[in-house]
């Protein structure tokens, strides 16, 4: 059931697992990072139009990324064509050339295993998500992971069996593999210390990973699924005791390694239970890395499939269209995309065995981390010299929060993960192109400076940063025009009406989200509840609500006060009247923010 693979493939995996970025390259990367600091300073502090200049630079990098990923696809199809032409005339190849050809690694196969994980998902949405994989020709095996085995979790298993009634199976995992890995690794380290052997983390990780893989093989053999055989299982659902998303991802990835080895598949597509793929989402994301053995991962662009549900989803959809498409492209043109988005990620399976254990057991600020799973996977790839691509011209549809409170919680959770990976793993900048550091500096320092400047002005009336309305307006016009022409997500006329409001919707809370998430990096709550009716009905405590969105209430009070102060100075209102206007405006702003977040939850 578990045939041996070609020696060339095993050798390739060993080479890649042993690969590290050369010291001279790391030195040059550090020099490049040092040069990025004055470059960023010159494009901001010494420019009359810093925001406009920034969007022009971002557009240039976005276009370069489009050029790079198209080149990757051309390389893949060229390689495939060369192999096919070589097979057309075997009689013309002499014996020596034939032997040489047979000794070369197999070309990349555009087939993948898809792993879809979730917990207490809305049944109708989960059904749509699973159904969408039927249209993908690249998906040869579907692995669904359910993080929960209580009565409330059976809906997802029933949906899975309904969508895939044939060649499918549901397996109950006796113990989450994350817990198994943690226990085995601790035992390995304890034994080494008991025998006074030096503790080698990489060796402990390798032993733990091998144990988990053998355990997964045993479970598959026990259930006699006949994977890879005619009529065998092609759709498998794994259930385990509820932990968290990272826990079910780890279990699913271990099983994916085993199943992919049986099928001879080289790529894994990873997604969430609320994500809907298009017919070409998997194939066109994977073919950006298929021809390059040094490319370990890629992700696609995202659109919102529930954009018409509420006003918040319409605004969020326009944010995805206008902002995320551009901002994610900046470092990606050098193969250093710093976030493989959870809903739409592809991996070269050869890259996973070495990184899964350190990824799952990550600690930051003295705590185990469970909410930054996608970013930390990306960081682990970059630290080991793998390229990470962003297929910006490929789309996958994801779900977005329907209320302001849930949207803010999601943004804070994402921002915390960004801070942790950007600030607490400085070694990644030595192993990656300096453009990764440049993108980090712009993302981390820009909103923080803006937040501090606004708060400073509110309390002192002193300007730390000069904002130019013409600069901001020009930035909006240039960014919107570019997106209309080049964005693969073609907005309708109605959708375009939400573009300008979405800019305010995104950028007004951004400095506060950035500052609050930085101050609370160690918080490990998921923030938003799952979409199953039982989870949505649960109300959170007032204390928790204030912790998660109270910063927005305070921030809107400050912004409203700043606006009143500016208008008071402009119209020359006397001091005591201006102070009264500031107080009233701040109270109204805070009340409005409270009513759409804490008050509405």
Q: Which of 179-193, 365-379, 583-597 has the highest mean pLDDT?
A: 583-597
The predicted structure's pLDDT at residue 135: 93
The predicted structure's pLDDT at residue 537: 52
Determine, yes or no, domain membership for 272.
yes
More confidently predicted of 330 and 289: 289
In sequence order, the β-bridge partners of residue 144 are 116, 237
- Domain end point (choices 356, 383, 400): 400
Domain count, the chain: 2
Taking the CA atoms of the chain, what radius of gyration do you get in angstroms? 26
What gap in Å lies between CA 115 and CA 345, rounded to an integer? 10
How much of the chain is in helix, strand and coil states, percent to nearest 5?
Answer: 60, 10, 30
Determine, yes or no, domain membership for 425.
no
- Domain end point (choices 370, 400, 430): 400
- Domain end point (choices 360, 379, 400): 400
The DSSP bridge pattern shows strands 363-364 and 367-368 to be: antiparallel
* 3-state SS assignment for residue 390: strand
Residue with tokens 């593999």: 177
Helix extents (H) in 133-200: 154-163, 177-194
Determine, yes or no, domain membership for 99.
no
Vertex 259: Cα angle to 257 and 264 (nearest 5): 90
The predicted structure's pLDDT at residue 45: 76
CATH code, 248: 3.90.550.10
The predicted structure's pLDDT at residue 103: 42
Determine, yes or no, domain membership for 386.
yes
Determine, yes or no, domain membership for 593.
yes
What gap in Å lies between CA 25 and CA 28, rounded to an integer? 5
* Burial zone of 448 (CB within 10 Å; 0-12 exposed, 13-18 middle, 19+ buried): middle
* Burial zone of 490 (CB within 10 Å; 0-12 exposed, 13-18 middle, 19+ buried): exposed
Residue with tokens 């994610």: 328
Tens digits of per-residue pLDDT, 422-471?
999 999 999 999 999 999 998 998 899 999 999 999 999 998 888 888 99
Answer whether residue 86 shows pLDDT above 80.
no
Q: Which of 148-157, 234-243, 266-275 has the lowest mean pLDDT?
A: 148-157
Answer whether residue 37 shows pLDDT above 80.
yes
The predicted structure's pLDDT at residue 365: 82
Determine, yes or no, domain membership for 56.
no
Tokens of 438: 């440049």
What gap in Å lies between CA 502 and CA 538, rounded to an integer? 29
Determine, yes or no, domain membership for 511.
no
Domain that holds residue 594: 539-601
> Region 336-352: what's the mean pLDDT?
93
Q: Which of 17-21, 178-182, 237-241 has the lowest mean pLDDT?
A: 17-21
The predicted structure's pLDDT at residue 486: 92
- C-alpha dihedral (232, 273, 419, 445), degrees to nearest 10: 120
The predicted structure's pLDDT at residue 157: 94
The predicted structure's pLDDT at residue 16: 41
Residue with tokens 């712009």: 442
Count CA atoms within 13 Å of residue 32 on its CB side.
Answer: 17
Tens digits of per-residue pLDDT, 491-549?
877 888 999 999 999 999 999 999 999 999 888 765 555 555 555 555 678 888 999 99
Tens digits of per-residue pLDDT, 391-400?
999 999 999 9
The predicted structure's pLDDT at residue 186: 92
The predicted structure's pLDDT at residue 397: 95
The predicted structure's pLDDT at residue 466: 81
Helix extents (H) in 19-119: 23-44, 50-88, 95-103
Tokens of 18: 């042993």
Confidence of residue 158 (pLDDT cuts 50, 70, 90): very high
pTM: 0.88
Please provide the average confidence, as pLDDT, over all residues in the chain.
87
Tokens of 250: 């780890």
Answer whether residue 192 shows pLDDT above 90.
no
What gap in Å lies between CA 112 and CA 10, rounded to an integer? 18
The predicted structure's pLDDT at residue 297: 95
Residue 302 · residue 398 · CB < 8 Å:
yes
The predicted structure's pLDDT at residue 523: 82
What gap in Å lies between CA 142 and CA 263, rounded to an integer? 12
Answer whether residue 3 shows pLDDT above 70.
no
> Region 40-47: what's the mean pLDDT?
81
More confidently predicted of 365 and 450: 450
Residue 558 Cα distances to 224, 318, 419, 586, angstroms: 63, 26, 24, 6
Answer whether residue 100 shows pLDDT above 70.
no
Determine, yes or no, domain membership for 439.
no
In sequence order, the β-bridge partners of residue 391 are 300
Dihedral-angle region of residue 362 (phi above 0 means left; psi in -120 to 50 means alpha; beta otherwise): beta
The predicted structure's pLDDT at residue 97: 32
> Region 166-171: what's the mean pLDDT?
94
The predicted structure's pLDDT at residue 88: 45
How many residues are recorded in the chain?
601
| Residue-wise DSSP of 269-315 | EEEETT-B--TTHHHHHHTTTTT-TTEEEEEEEEEETTTTSSHHHHH
* 3-state SS assignment for residue 41: helix
């Amino acid at each position: 059931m578990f045939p041996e693979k070609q020696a060339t493939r095993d050798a390739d995996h060993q080479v890649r697992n042993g690969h590290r970025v050369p010291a001279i390259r790391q030195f040059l990367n550090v020099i490049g990072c040092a040069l990025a600091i004055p470059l960023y300073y010159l494009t901001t502090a010494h420019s009359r139009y810093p925001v406009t200049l920034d969007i022009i630079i971002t557009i240039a990098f976005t276009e370069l990324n489009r050029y790079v990923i198209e080149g990757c696809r051309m390389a893949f199809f060229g390689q495939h064509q060369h192999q096919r032409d070589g097979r057309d005339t075997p009689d013309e190849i002499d014996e020596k050339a034939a032997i040489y050809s047979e000794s070369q690694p197999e070309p990349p196969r555009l087939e993948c295993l898809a792993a879809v994980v979730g917990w207490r998902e809305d049944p109708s949405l989960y059904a749509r998500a699973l159904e969408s994989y039927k249209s993908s020709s690249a998906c040869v095996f579907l692995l669904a992971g359910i993080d929960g085995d209580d009565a409330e979790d059976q809906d997802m298993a029933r949906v899975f069996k309904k969508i895939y009634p044939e060649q499918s199976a549901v397996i109950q995992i006796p113990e989450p593999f994350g817990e198994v890995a943690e226990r085995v690794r601790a035992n390995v380290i304890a034994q080494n210390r008991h025998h006074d052997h030096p503790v080698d983390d990489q060796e402990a990780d390798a032993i733990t990973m091998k144990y988990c893989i053998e355990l997964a093989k045993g479970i598959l053999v026990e259930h006699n699924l006949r994977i890879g055989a005619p009529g065998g299982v092609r759709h498998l659902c794994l259930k385990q005791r509820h932990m968290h998303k990272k826990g079910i991802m780890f279990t699913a990835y271990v099983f994916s390694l085993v199943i992919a080895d049986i099928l001879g598949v080289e790529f894994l597509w990873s997604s969430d239970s609320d994500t809907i793929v298009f017919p070409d989402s998997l194939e066109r994301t994977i073919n950006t890395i298929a021809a390059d053995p040094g490319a370990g991962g890629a992700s696609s662009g995202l659109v919102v499939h529930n954009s018409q549900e509420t006003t918040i989803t319409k605004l969020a959809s326009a944010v995805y269209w206008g902002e995320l498409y551009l901002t994610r492209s900046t470092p990606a043109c050098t193969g250093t995309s710093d976030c493989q988005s959870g809903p739409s990620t592809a991996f070269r399976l050869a890259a996973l065995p070495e990184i899964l254990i350190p990824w799952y057991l990550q600690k930051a600020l003295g705590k185990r981390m469970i909410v930054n799973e996608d970013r930390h996977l990306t960081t682990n790839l970059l630290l080991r010299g793998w390229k990470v691509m962003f297929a910006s011209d490929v789309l996958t549809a994801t779900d977005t929060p329907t209320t302001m409170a849930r949207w803010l919680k999601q943004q804070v959770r994402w921002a915390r993960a960004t801070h942790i990976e950007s600030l607490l793993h400085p070694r990644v900048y030595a192993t990656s192109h300096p453009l990764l550091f440049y993108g980090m500096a712009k993302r981390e320092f820009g909103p923080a400076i803006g937040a501090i400047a606004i708060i400073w002005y509110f309390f002192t009336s002193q300007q730390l940063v000069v904002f130019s309305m013409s600069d901001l307006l020009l930035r909006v016009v240039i960014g919107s025009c570019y997106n209309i022409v080049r964005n693969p997500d073609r907005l309708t006329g109605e959708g375009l009406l939400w573009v300008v409001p979405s800019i305010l919707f995104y950028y007004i809370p951004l400095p506060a989200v950035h500052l609050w998430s930085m101050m609370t990096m160690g918080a490990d709550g998921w923030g938003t509840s799952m979409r199953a009716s039982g989870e949505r009905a649960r109300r959170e405590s007032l204390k928790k609500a204030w912790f998660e969105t109270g910063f927005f209430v305070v921030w809107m009070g400050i912004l409203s006060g700043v606006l009143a102060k500016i208008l008071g100075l402009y119209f020359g209102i006397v001091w005591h009247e201006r102070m009264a206007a500031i107080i009233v405006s701040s109270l109204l702003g805070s009340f409005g923010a409270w009513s759409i977040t804490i008050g509405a939850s």
